[in-house]
């Protein structure tokens, strides 16, 4: 029992890591290192605060809600809650997250792909999106196997490939620049950058997959919901620690190997730094790391979206596979629009208005479960309106 318990916890922890570690998670820590220079440790601490700690808080909150995101958002009221869930599904699906994964992965892997996929143009982007989303379908259509596939196969391959790049980078560290900004400024800038991962959204909606997988895995042991929740929390800690360690390693690569690198967009950063460390002969390893990072998050998001489409839009009148096809097809248009278009969406109202409101809701829901703190509608509304006014003042 104890051995099984431990293996389940570790496997689910690895799955949580790979669910959250998408293409953007390869890019942003490198950018932290390059922009922070000799203050890269301060920079990565700020990044981890929003890119790791927030998702962990989200997972803890969702464990208290038994993975039911309808009840989580339902504290805002039935109709507002449903609207919020629908908007979140659009963000993690066709309007942002999956297209960002597809376009980033194309930019990062293009040099390693055969013609005509090795160039970035509308036709190659379309073909790559079809290929990537098709592979995502193959990895997702057996929903009950997702956590096992992530925990036993994809996560180990991803971690091993990243570990090789990070260790080689540490052993061959070059130099970094003297950052003249104050440590506080460096910290604050990278706290903002951690927002861009949007991983809090991930844990809120991945929680149901994780808890369902734990329930299936421990069914023969007749564990109570409390015991299953404890496994979920331990697994979340494992996933978070792995995220923090990998982020720190990639940040180090950016700080000591990123100086002087010329790149057209941030999607090329990890690739160029990896080339500098491993040389062109490391292309296969770089491709593997990028593909695993992108693919693991894509299949997790696709499963969440397909479940929502089947349950909420079609009221269970269609099967999971049909809903999955509909969801992936909806992601296709923006997946061919180019990385710049998708990243502009990331840097817009979604990040600066919607995300702070989601953070407020998460903290208030956790306070409600822990200390019976009931106010939620007014604090979330104040947060939303405040960020709306700030955004309008700064950008409009």
- Residue 394: enclosing H or E segment and its boundaries? helix 377-395
Query: Could you tell me if 135 and 219 lie in one domain?
Result: yes
User: According to the model, what pLDDT value does residue 5 have?
Assistant: 40
* 326 and 364 co-located in one domain: no
* Residue 365 and residue 298 in one domain: no
Q: Report the distance separating Cα 125 and Cα 137, nearest Å.
A: 18
- pLDDT of 128: 92
Domain harbouring 192, CATH code:
1.10.4160.10
The pair of three-digit structure tokens given for residue 170, joined into one six-digit string: 């540490």
Q: How far apart are CA 35 and CA 53, in angstroms?
A: 22
Clarify whether residues 333 and 353 are in a common domain: no
Q: For residue range 161-219, what is the model confidence (pLDDT) as tens digits?
A: 888 889 999 998 878 888 888 999 999 999 988 887 888 888 888 888 777 777 776 66
Both 6 and 101 in one domain: the answer is yes
- Statement to judge: residues 140 and 215 lie in one domain: yes
Q: What is residue 230's three-state secondary structure?
A: helix
One domain for residues 153 and 56: yes
Q: Which of 107, 152, 157, 159 is nearest to 129 (CA)?
A: 107
* HSE-up of residue 336 (Cα within 13 Å, Cβ side): 17
Q: How high is the mean pLDDT in each 10-residue block of the chain (396 residues)?
A: 56 80 78 90 94 89 88 92 90 86 84 80 90 90 68 77 89 84 91 84 83 70 70 85 92 87 72 82 76 83 91 91 94 85 70 86 92 93 91 74
Residues 275 and 369 in one domain: no
179: left (phi over 0), alpha (psi -120 to 50) or beta: beta
Do 360 and 326 lie in one domain? The reply is: no
Q: Can you tell me whether residue 29 is helix, strand or coil?
A: helix
Instruction: Provide the number of structural domains found in the chain.
Output: 2
Average model confidence (pLDDT) for the chain? 84
**Structural tokens at position 205:** 């909606």
User: Does 335 share its domain with 354?
Assistant: no
Q: Could you tell me the sign of the dihedral formed by the alpha carbons of 230, 236, 239, 244, in that order?
A: negative
Neighbours of 365 (CB within 10 A): 26
Cα of 221 vs its chain's centroid, Å: 32
Q: 371 and 260 in one domain?
A: no
Supply the pLDDT for residue 27: 83
CA distances to 296, 355, 388 from 384, in Å? 31, 9, 6
CA distance 56 to 15: 14
Residues 314 and 385 grouped into a single domain: no
Q: Where in the sequence is the domain holding 286, given as residue range(s)?
A: 2-339
């Amino acid at each position: 029992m104890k051995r099984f318990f431990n293996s389940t916890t570790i496997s689910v922890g690895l799955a949580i890591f790979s669910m959250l570690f998408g293409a953007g998670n390869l890019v942003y820590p490198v950018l932290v290192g390059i922009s922070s220079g000799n203050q890269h440790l301060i920079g990565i601490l700020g990044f981890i605060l929003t890119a790791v700690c927030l998702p962990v808080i989200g997972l803890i909150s969702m464990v208290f809600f038994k993975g039911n995101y309808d009840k989580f958002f339902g504290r805002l009221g039935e109709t507002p809650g449903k609207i919020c869930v629908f908007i979140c599904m659009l963000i993690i699906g066709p309007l942002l997250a999956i297209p960002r994964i597809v376009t980033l992965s194309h930019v990062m892997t293009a040099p390693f792909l055969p013609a005509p996929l090795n160039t970035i143009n509308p036709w190659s982007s379309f073909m790559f999106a079809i290929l990537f989303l098709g592979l995502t379908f193959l990895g997702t259509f057996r929903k009950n196997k997702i956590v096992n596939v992530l925990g036993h196969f994809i996560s180990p391959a991803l971690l091993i490939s990243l570990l090789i790049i990070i260790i080689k980078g540490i052993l061959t560290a070059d130099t970094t620049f003297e950052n003249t900004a104050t440590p506080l400024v460096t910290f604050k800038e990278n706290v903002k950058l951690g927002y861009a991962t949007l991983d809090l959204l991930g844990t809120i909606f991945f929680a149901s997959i994780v808890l369902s997988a734990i329930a299936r895995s421990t069914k023969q042991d007749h564990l109570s919901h409390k015991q299953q929740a404890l496994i979920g929390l331990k697994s979340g800690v494992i996933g978070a620690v792995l995220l923090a360690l990998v982020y720190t390693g990639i940040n180090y690569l950016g700080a000591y190997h990123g100086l002087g690198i010329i790149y057209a967009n941030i999607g090329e950063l990890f690739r160029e730094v990896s080339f500098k460390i491993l040389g062109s002969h490391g292309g296969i390893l770089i491709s593997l790391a990028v593909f695993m990072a992108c693919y693991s998050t894509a299949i997790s998001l696709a499963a969440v979206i397909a479940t929502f489409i089947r349950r909420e839009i079609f009221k269970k009148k269609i099967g999971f596979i049909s809903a999955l096809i509909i969801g992936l097809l909806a992601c296709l248009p923006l997946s061919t629009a180019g990385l710049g278009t998708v990243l502009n969406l990331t840097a817009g109202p979604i990040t600066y208005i919607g995300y702070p409101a989601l953070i407020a809701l998460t903290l208030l829901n956790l306070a409600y479960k822990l200390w019976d703190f009931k106010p939620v509608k007014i604090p979330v509304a104040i947060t939303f309106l405040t960020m709306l006014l700030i955004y309008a003042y700064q950008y409009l």
